[in-house]
Amino acid sequence: MDHFLYRDGELYAEDVPLREIAATVGAPFYCYSAATFTRHFQLFDEALDGMEHLVCYAMKANSNQAILKLLGDQGAGMDVVSGGEYRRARAARVPGDRIVFSGVGKTEDEMRVAIESGIRQFNIESEPEMEVLSRVATSMGTEVPVTIRVNPDVDAKTHEKIATGKAENKFGIPISRASEVYALAANLPGLKVIGIDVHIGSQLVDLDPFRLAFRKVADLTEQLRAEGHEITRLDLGGGLGIPYERSNADPPLPRDFGQVVREEVGHLGCEIEIEPGRLIAGNAGVLVSEVIYVKQGEDRQFLILDAAMNDLIRPAMYGAHHDILPVKEPAPGEEPATYDIVGPVCESGDTFAKHRQMPAVGVGDLVAFRSAGAYGAVMASEYNSRPMIPEVLVQGDQFAVIRPRPTFDEMINRDIIPSWL
Ligand SMILES: *Cc1c(COP(=O)(O)O)cnc(C)c1O
């Protein structure tokens, strides 16, 4: 489902050889495929065909404005989780009435900015937040559409750091208390309660948890309607996983997800929103890095790359797997080598893979981390005073740097040495 393929003996992004981009911007860098982004968005859009719907891209997965513009132009909405993301989406010319605001800790300032500049809805996550939003909206002389995020207490069967739908997680209100909380919200000025929101986690590779959660939302819809609430919109969140390891069985597709939505909530006549992030962005990007050294250890070979955990933290943070391919296509039948693949950062956590079998590579060769388009660049830092790596977007045979690498001076001169030192 992506556009990173070998052609004439080397890895291409659409119609551009990654080698050519490396020669222009220098390794390491992120490279995204516009066609892959567009295709993934369209797959979700088509999956909900026949139901009134909006696909709100969860922009925390990859929030470069070029990506937001690309998806916004296709008709995508955005799911934002901070005032910064809201501003970024608006800067990329996404209309406010296509932006939904999620997150457990929205501040008054964030609420005000979004109300002033236009918002589709707030997804509220607690009673205290509801009261603050009511006060802010009232003080601005307006009424804002809201859904309330419920926590369905469903096991998403994913990594514990990205599971969000169990009772022990900080997200949403317990679904058992929904009746009470909706009654409270209905009586607060400045809020127009229009729906229900749910998001149970990320990198789900099984549809059953979605089905369970959506069924609970459907039951709740009927219950709340019986209690006199007008429920016209269901935000069903994101979370559909991607195949990080090509050798494994493929996870369900957007159309399978869409089918579950249809079966579980299709009869309710509600407008449907979904918030996919990873599936749209993940396989639309690679991280390209150069081999600095091949080092012989006591009992293993280390492949030391110029990319590190500060550029792509998923392996260190979640124990995540990324397939790593040589940019130059290996000859058929070539014996694979086994490496511990590491970066230059001064901690052992800076390990991308252990005992990884892959085609042999040497100093100066380029490798590509697949599935690096989501939760890659957005989670990068300058740890070890390593400048943030550039991001490049390819469309057909053209490419552009969509975020340049800062110079060392730009990075260093952000610090201020006080005059009294
Ligand atoms: C992170 C998040 C998403 C997107 O999750 P993916 O796994 O990237 O699809 C959607 N909605 C909310 C509220 C989120 O926090």
| CA–centroid distance, residue 61 to ligand 1 (Å) | 8
| CA–centroid distance, residue 182 to ligand 1 (Å) | 23
List ligand 1's pocket residues with C-beta within 6 A. Answer: 58, 60-61, 79, 81, 102, 199, 202-203, 237-239, 275-279
* pLDDT band at residue 1 using 50, 70 and 90 as cut-offs: low
* pLDDT band at residue 274 using 50, 70 and 90 as cut-offs: very high
Q: Which of 199, 234, 244, when mutated, tests ligand 1's pocket best, judged by the most ligand atoms within 8 Å of its CB?
A: 199
Atom of ligand 1 nearest to the CA of 164: 15
346 assigned to active site: yes
| CA–centroid distance, residue 282 to ligand 1 (Å) | 12
Average pLDDT, the chain: 96
Strands 336-342 and 351-359: antiparallel
| CA–centroid distance, residue 76 to ligand 1 (Å) | 15
Question: What would the two tokens of residue 150 be?
Answer: 């419920």
109 CB-near residues (< 8 Å, 6+ apart): 83
Of 156-165, 298-307, 362-371, least confident by mean pLDDT is 156-165
If you average pLDDT over residues 234-249, what whole number do you get? Answer: 89
Q: What sections of 228-331 are H helices per DSSP? A: 254-265, 278-281, 314-318
Atom of ligand 1 nearest to the CA of 103: 13
Q: What is the pLDDT of residue 103?
A: 96
| CA–centroid distance, residue 274 to ligand 1 (Å) | 9
Question: What would the two tokens of residue 350 be?
Answer: 């800076």
Atom of ligand 1 nearest to the CA of 375: 8
Q: Is 21 helix (H, G, I), strand (E, B) or coil?
A: helix
Atom of ligand 1 nearest to the CA of 281: 8
Angle value at C-alpha 128, between 190 and 121, nearest 5 degrees: 45
Q: What is the pLDDT of residue 156?
A: 86
Atom of ligand 1 nearest to the CA of 275: 10
Q: Is 46 helix (H, G, I), strand (E, B) or coil?
A: helix
| pTM passes above 0.95 | yes
**pLDDT digit string (tens) for 203-226?**
999 999 999 999 999 999 999 999
Cα 330 from Cα 291, distance rounded (Å): 16
Of 106-110, 170-174, 339-343, 405-409, least confident by mean pLDDT is 170-174
* pLDDT band at residue 247 using 50, 70 and 90 as cut-offs: low
Q: Which helix (H) or strand (E) holds 238?
A: none
| CA–centroid distance, residue 373 to ligand 1 (Å) | 14
Asked if pLDDT for residue 166 goes beyond 70, the answer is yes
Angle value at C-alpha 322, between 302 and 84, nearest 5 degrees: 115
Q: What is the pLDDT of residue 250?
A: 84
* pLDDT band at residue 249 using 50, 70 and 90 as cut-offs: confident
Contact 180, 155 (CB under 8 A): no
The DSSP-derived string for 348-378 is: TT-EEEEEEEEE---TT-EEEESS-SSSSGG
Asked if pLDDT for residue 318 goes beyond 90, the answer is yes
Task: Report the amino acid identity of residue 44.
Answer: F
Question: What would the two tokens of residue 301 be?
Answer: 């070979």
| The residue count for the chain | 421
If you average pLDDT over residues 246-271, what whole number do you get? Answer: 93
Q: What is the pLDDT of residue 26?
A: 98
Q: Which of 43, 56, 99, 102, when mutated, tests ligand 1's pocket best, judged by the most ligand atoms within 8 Å of its CB?
A: 102
- DSSP 8-state class, residue 227: T
The DSSP-derived string for 117-184 is: H--SEEEE-SHHHHHHHHHHHHHTT--EEEEEEEE------S-GGGB--STTSSSSEEGGGHHHHHHH
Asked if pLDDT for residue 246 goes beyond 80, the answer is no
Atom of ligand 1 nearest to the CA of 278: 8
Strands 53-58 and 271-274: parallel
| CA–centroid distance, residue 21 to ligand 1 (Å) | 31
If you average pLDDT over residues 116-125, what whole number do you get? Answer: 98
128 CB-near residues (< 8 Å, 6+ apart): none
Of 19-23, 66-70, 151-155, 282-286, least confident by mean pLDDT is 151-155
Angle value at C-alpha 180, between 174 and 184, nearest 5 degrees: 115
Q: Which of 59, 60, 85, when mutated, tests ligand 1's pocket best, judged by the most ligand atoms within 8 Å of its CB?
A: 60
If you average pLDDT over residues 399-407, what whole number do you get? Answer: 98
- Closest by Cα among 244, 263, 246 to 255: 263
Q: Which helix (H) or strand (E) holds 203?
A: none
Cα 103 from Cα 97, distance rounded (Å): 18
> 31, 56, 270, 346: which one is catalytic?
346
Question: What would the two tokens of residue 245 be?
Answer: 């390891």
| CA–centroid distance, residue 277 to ligand 1 (Å) | 6
Residue nearest to atom 10 of ligand 1 (CA): 238
